[in-house]
Amino acid sequence: MTYAAKKRRRIDWAHLAGVVILLMVFLAIVYLGYRIIRMERIPAALKSENSHAGAITEINDRYLIAAYYPEESNGELEKKLKEQLQKRIDAFKSETAEIEVADKNSRLVYFCDYQRYEDGDILSYLFLEKEGNNPLLLEEKDFFTAAYDKAKKEEATLDFLFLGDYRKQMAALLRREFKKSAYADQTDLEKFYLFTQAESSLYDFFVIRDQKLSFCFDSREILTEDKGIIMQDIPLAEMDFCLKEDLHTAETVAATADDAKRLRYVDALKPMVALTYDDGPYGPVTERLLDALKKVNGAATFFVVGSRVNWRANAGMIERAIAEGSEVGCHTYNHSNLTKLTTEEIQKEIKDTVEAIEAKVEGYHVLSVRPVGGAYDDHVKQSVNYVMYNWSVDSLDWKSRDRDAILEKVRASIEDGDIVLMHDLYESTAEASEVLIPELARTYQLVTVTELMEYKGVQVKAGDVVLSPMKKIR
Ligand SMILES: [Zn+2]
């Protein structure tokens, strides 16, 4: 072979290699172009609302999956949230493994996006999971929350934010605020008090926004109707005595036991009794009872006589009783036996007393009546538009007028759920109560009659006569 022939051949080889490479590049471009044209994108309905979101997505003939988590350099928390989402996606796939998918239009959709809240140093996220077949018509499935302290670079759990026995305050606040909410009328009270117990997992799902702690829960847990996932705020200001950090300045604040802000919390699963005092108010005695109740953070029910409400010697008693969590009920205006009155007379006795009480404290509503002498009949039941409370333990204080006799009588029979009859008229009753109240408080929670029915899950209505939660006369 001549040198020239050799050279020509080498050139041919190089030429061929170049052609092959060009062809491969061409094919690759054609293939990628085909893939891009064929590639499906996440539908707009399944996009995140958040600008700094990381995404886990999956599209195939069976699934449309789009889940988002925050990516704003919250380190460990973001990693944890991403893992949590992946676990939920895996669970979704295994739960739906048996479902037949006919075509792309009936693909199984999993969507999870989050709402972001920022309050001082605390960032919080509420994740809402939705599922279905149509990206535009998904159903809420579940939710979870997370919070992060930017300054301390740590996950902000309740134990991170609060000190000591904070859960009781939180539960008492949640109950109080929820009763003022638009959902209050649709609440199943028995479920409500169990679900809102201080140790409930409900309190683990929260975000912090506008200086409020906002708890998220499934409405089906406590409402009689399904209203989806709902949120209930409680003001952080009322938690500040157990708050570890000032959420705005991140300065450590000394946690002080500020009893004035501490609300009374009732544990629905622990024993409770309702002490009731009739015929007052009577300043010198009523005041001693309120002092004794305050020391143990207890409450009682004062069934007052309307004509006594505005006596000067009793000034301030009704306001104080209500402010400190006790209940003020009606014991008629003139201490009249209702069974001897006409319908009009009964209703006037009640109305005049209720008005006198309600005029003392704005927004207060009387909820209970104690008939004089416990006397009632069908006519009384039909005429009184309130729940009537009699009693299951009679202290006979009006008869004995003796401290030790009263103590003996009550100690001998008191049990969980009892309603105890006493009178805030006698010094002997004050003396006995000053012993009884701290003594009972060691075993029982001291509640009002209305609370007793609520926490025991007993529904009552106007005209009912209650002796105890176990003994109710319709
Ligand atoms: Zn009486």
Instruction: Give the integer Cα–Cα distance in Å for 65 and 260.
Output: 51
Tens digit of each residue's pLDDT (9 = 90 or more) over 194-225: 999 999 999 999 999 999 999 999 999 999 99
pLDDT at 248: 44
Spacing, Cα 15 to ligand 1 middle (Å): 116
* Active site (annotated) includes residue 278: yes
Spacing, Cα 275 to ligand 1 middle (Å): 15
Spacing, Cα 204 to ligand 1 middle (Å): 47
Q: Domain extents for the chain? A: 45-155, 159-207+220-262, 272-473
Spacing, Cα 311 to ligand 1 middle (Å): 17
Spacing, Cα 265 to ligand 1 middle (Å): 30
pLDDT at 408: 97
- Cβ pair 301, 268 in contact under 8 A: no
pLDDT at 112: 97
CATH architecture for residues 272-473: Alpha-Beta Barrel (3.20)
Buried b (16+ CB within 10 A) or exposed e, 120-145: bbbbbbbbbbbbbeebeebeebebbb
Instruction: Give the integer Cα–Cα distance in Å for 75 and 81.
Output: 10
pLDDT at 51: 87
Ligand 1 ion: residues within 5 Å (CB): 278-279
- Looking at domain 45-155, its CATH class is alpha beta
Q: How far is CA 198 from the centre of its chain?
A: 9
* Active site (annotated) includes residue 335: no
Mean pLDDT in the chain? 90
Helix 283-295, helix 427-441: angle, nearest 10: 10
Which residue out of 149, 279, 423, 464 is catalytically annotated?
423
Tens digit of each residue's pLDDT (9 = 90 or more) over 287-336: 999 999 999 999 999 999 999 999 998 999 999 999 999 999 999 999 99
Ranges in the chain, pLDDT < 50: 248-257
Angle 384-390-394 from CA coordinates, rounded to 5°: 155
- Cβ pair 53, 125 in contact under 8 A: no
Spacing, Cα 441 to ligand 1 middle (Å): 25
pLDDT at 5: 56
pTM over 0.75: yes
3-class SS string, the chain:
CCHHHHHHHHHHHHHHHHHHHHHHHHHHHHHHHHHHHHCCCCCHHHCCCCCCEEEEEEECCCEEEEEEEECCCCHHHHHHHHHHHHHHHHHHHHHCCCCCCCCHHHCEEEEEEEEEEEECCEEEEEEEEEEECCCCCCEEEEEEEEEEECCCCEECCHHHHECCCHHHHHHHHHHHHHHCCCCHHHECHHHHHHHCCCCCHHHHCEEEECCEEEEEEEHHHCECCCCCEEEEEEEHHHHHHHECECCCCCCECCCCCCHHHCCCCCCCCCCEEEEEEECCCCHHHHHHHHHHHHHCCCCCEEEECHHHCCCHHHCCHHHHHHHCCCEEEECCCCCCCHHHCCHHHHHHHHHHHHHHHHCCCCCCCCCEECCHHHCCCHHHHHHCCCEEECCCEECCHHHHCCHHHHHHHHHHHCCCCCEEEEECCCHHHHHHHHHHHHHHHCCCEECCHHHHHHHCCCCCCCCCEEEECCEEEC
Which residue out of 113, 119, 149, 278 is catalytically annotated?
278
Instruction: Give the integer Cα–Cα distance in Å for 115 and 365.
Output: 39
Angle 423-316-294 from CA coordinates, rounded to 5°: 65
pLDDT at 254: 41
- Cβ pair 338, 375 in contact under 8 A: yes
Spacing, Cα 371 to ligand 1 middle (Å): 8
Spacing, Cα 131 to ligand 1 middle (Å): 61
